[in-house]
Copies of this chain bind each other. A is one copy, B any other.
Amino acid sequence: MKDVAARAGVGLKTVSRVVNSEPGVTPDTERRVQEAITALGFRRNDSARILRKGRTASVGLVLEDLADPFYGPLSRAVEEVARDHGALLINGSSAEDPAREQELVLALCARRVDGLVVIPAGDDHRYLEPEISAGVATVFVDRPAGRINCDAVLSDSFGGARDAVAHLIAHGHRRIGFIGDQPRIHTAIERLRGYRAAMSVAGLPVNEAWMSLGATDPSRVLAAAEAMLSGPEPVTALFAGNNRVTVTAVRVLAARPGRAALVGFDDFELADLLSPGVTVVAQDAAQLGRTAANMLFRRLEGADEEPRQIVLPTRLIARGSGEIPPAHRVAS
C-alpha cells in the first residue's frame, strides 16, 4: 500500500479510495494508482476486500466424506457462490469423525475464514459458540447443528423417505427393508422415521429384522441386504437410505434371481441407464449448497436475524426398479 502510494505520488487514503472504487479521485490520479498497482504486482482484489470489510475474503467448507459423489455438486455450488462474492473457498473433510470435524473447524477459524459452511459429522457443536460470537458466520447444510441454534439448510429426509416407501407399498409391497446410515446421523434417523410413518399409515407391521442402520461400506450393506432378502420372511423390496447404500443394493439385486424392488434416497450418475433404471428420491445437492452459501453471504453482509432452518423438497423419480411388483406375495 505504502509502495503504491509512493510510486503514484498520492496519499494512502487515495489508494484506498481507488481500490474500493470510492468517489473523490480524478481519472488521472486513478490511472496513476492503477499503474502503480500493476507495476508493483499489488494484489488488488484481496487487498480491496480486506480494506473494505476487515475480512479475509475466504470461507471454509467442512465436508463429511471427500469420496461421496453426493457432495461434489454441493461443494461446487458453494464454491460458485463464494466466487461470485469474490471469496476464496477452503475445504476440509471430517471423514465422518466428530473429533476431526472440530479440529478442522477450529483450524479454519484460526486461519481466519470469514464464515463456515458445515456438513457436520458430530452432534454437539457448542465448541463453535465462541467462534460464532467472535463473528464467524456459520451455516450448516445437509444435517442440522447439534445443541446450538444455527442456520441450517436441509433436504426433507422424512418426507422423501415416506414418499419412497409409500411408492413401494402402492406397487403391492408389504415386506419392505430399510438400510440406512449410522444412527447418530440426523438424516439416517429422519429417513427411518419416514419409513416407519409410511408403513404405519398403510397399516403394515414392521419387523425389526427389516431395519438396519450402520456404516455404508459395501460389506456391511451387502450383509444387511442378503439377510433381509433371505430367511423365512424375506422382504420383497428395499429402500436404500443414501446413494452409497443404493449402489451396493443394485449389485446385490443384480446378482440374485427373482428381482426385488428398490428405491434409493439420492439420485446418482447413470442410475437411468442401468437395467432396470433405479427409482430414486432425488435431493437437489447443488441447490442445498447454493442456498447455504447464499445464507452465509447474507450473514456476512450484515443480516442480523434469528437463525433459520430451510428445508428443501425431494422428488421421486420412477425409473423401473421401484415399480417391480412383489415376486411372491403372501396371502393377505
Contact with B along A56-100 (1 / 0, CB 8 A): 001000000111110011011001000100001111110100001
With contacts A66-B75, A247-B270 taken as known, whether A90 is within 8 angstroms of B88 at the C-beta atoms is: no
User: Quick check: is A170 within 8 A (CB to CB) of the other chain?
Assistant: no
Docked-complex contact A68 and B72, CB < 8 angstroms = yes
User: Hey, which chain B residues are within 8 Å of A104, CB to CB?
Assistant: 88
With contacts A92-B89, A103-B88 taken as known, whether A254 is within 8 angstroms of B269 at the C-beta atoms is: no
Number of copies: 2
Docked-complex contact B66 and A93, CB < 8 angstroms = no
Give the complex CA separation of A297 and B107 in angstroms.
20
Docked-complex contact A107 and B79, CB < 8 angstroms = no
Docked-complex contact B69 and A69, CB < 8 angstroms = yes
Partner of A111, one of B76, B111, B250: B111
Give the complex CA separation of A67 and B72 in angstroms.
4
Docked-complex contact B58 and A66, CB < 8 angstroms = no
Partner of A58, one of B75, B100, B107: B107
User: Quick check: is A51 within 8 A (CB to CB) of the other chain?
Assistant: no
Partner of A92, one of B72, B73, B76, B88: B88
User: Hey, which chain B residues are within 8 Å of A268, CB to CB?
Assistant: 269
In the complex, besides A90-B111, A91-B92, 6 extra interface pairs with C-beta distance below 8 angstroms are A66-B76, A88-B107, A91-B93, A254-B273, A270-B270, A270-B274
- In angstroms, how far is the closest chain B Cβ from the Cβ of A161? 23
With contacts A73-B67, A251-B273, A273-B251 taken as known, whether A91 is within 8 angstroms of B88 at the C-beta atoms is: no
Interface centre among A68, A76, A250, A273 (most CB of B within 10 A): A273
Docked-complex contact A95 and B66, CB < 8 angstroms = no
User: Hey, which chain B residues are within 8 Å of A66, CB to CB?
Assistant: 72, 75-76, 79, 91
| 8 Å CB interface, A257-303 against B | 268-270, 273-275
Name A residues whose Cβ lies closer than 8 Å to a Cβ of B: 58, 65-69, 72-73, 75-76, 79, 83, 88-93, 95, 100, 103-104, 107-108, 111, 247, 250-251, 254, 268-270, 273-275
The residue on B at minimum CB distance from A60 is B90
The residue on B at minimum CB distance from A67 is B72
Give the complex CA separation of A65 and B91 in angstroms.
13
- In angstroms, how far is the closest chain B Cβ from the Cβ of A320? 13
16 sample A-B contacts, Cβ–Cβ < 8 Å, listed by A number: A66-B79, A69-B269, A76-B93, A83-B95, A83-B100, A88-B103, A90-B108, A91-B92, A91-B93, A111-B111, A247-B270, A254-B273, A268-B269, A270-B270, A270-B274, A274-B274
User: Hey, which chain B residues are within 8 Å of A75, CB to CB?
Assistant: 66-67, 93
Give the complex CA separation of A263 and B247 in angstroms.
22
Give the complex CA separation of A107 and B273 in angstroms.
42
- In angstroms, how far is the closest chain B Cβ from the Cβ of A294? 18
- In angstroms, how far is the closest chain B Cβ from the Cβ of A325? 22
User: Hey, which chain B residues are within 8 Å of A58, CB to CB?
Assistant: 107
